[in-house]
Amino acid sequence: DQQVKQNSPSLSVQEGRISILNCDYTNSMFDYFLWYKKYPAEGPTFLISISSIKDKNEDGRFTVFLNKSAKHLSLHIVPSQPGDSAVYFCAASIGGGADGLTFGKGTHLIIQP
Amino acid sequence: DARVTQTPRHKVTEMGQEVTMRCQPILGHNTVFWYRQTMMQGLELLAYFRNRAPLDDSGMPKDRFSAEMPDATLATLKIQPSEPRDSAVYFCASGSPTGVLNTEAFFGQGTRLTVV
């Protein structure tokens, strides 16, 4: 039973356009959400996070939106760059992440020139 | 250069053999996680430790997997006997949730295990 779902295994976006990656969760106890980025043969690296007390967090080209009522979050990348091509994992936790993160299966983002 | 170090990076072994994966967490981090990545399940939490004490290993097949932290600088994940279905990338991550909320885990580069 996947508590964190990324329903798009892959997404192709043209360079310079907006990339929108989506994530849904089922556990209403989750109160902290993160996005990780992963290149081949490397470990996931933290990208951006959001607490459940907020509905938006922005860091440069990356913005995460949280819709608690819909149990949905999204990551926006504007503008998309070739170096953004990677697998993006959505993750969620309870109580700030001290007890581990629950990950989605990932979305492979491909930025086309 | 603070990072999580995992060894070996790659391991190919025959079914039935024992496999040991090692992890050196970031100095000062008191929480260590073991994750497994497969195509079907994505990233699954296998076990984690805080201050070297195992807190949760419910994600781990108990009959063949074991995780330990002999000291603060070393975490191990052992599979005995290994099976082909254990083939995956195993990640170690460390974090420092010392009462500060909303910390993220830092991942190592992973050990790619192939059991033939």
The confidence score (pLDDT) of residue A26 equals 97
CA distance B51 to B83: 31
**What per-residue confidence (pLDDT) applies to B1?**
62
- With an 8 Å Cβ cutoff, the interface of chain B facing chain A consists of 4, 31, 33, 35, 41-45, 48, 50, 55-56, 91, 93, 95, 97, 100-110
The string over A88-99, giving b where at least 16 C-beta atoms fall within 10 Å of a residue's C-beta and e elsewhere, is bbbbbbeebbbb
Q: What is the pLDDT of residues B20-76, one digit of tens each?
A: 999 999 988 888 999 999 888 789 999 999 889 998 888 898 899 999 999 999 999
pLDDT for A112 beyond 70? yes
What helix, strand, coil percent values describe chain A, rounded to 5?
5, 55, 45
Locate B24 and state its tokens.
């050196």
**Rounded CA gap, A92 and A4, in Å?**
7
A57: how many CB neighbours lie within 10 A of its CB? 15
pLDDT digits (tens, 9 = 90+) for A52-69: 999 999 999 999 999 999
CA pair distance B4, A39, nearest whole angstrom? 16
Q: What average pLDDT does the segment A43-52 reach? A: 93
Pairwise CB contact (< 8 Å): A96 & B93 = no
CB pairs under 8 A between A and B: 67
User: For B104, which of A43, A46, A102 is closest by C-beta distance?
Assistant: A46
Q: What pLDDT is recorded for position A97?
A: 66
Give the rounded percent of residues in chain B with a pLDDT score beyond 70.
Answer: 93
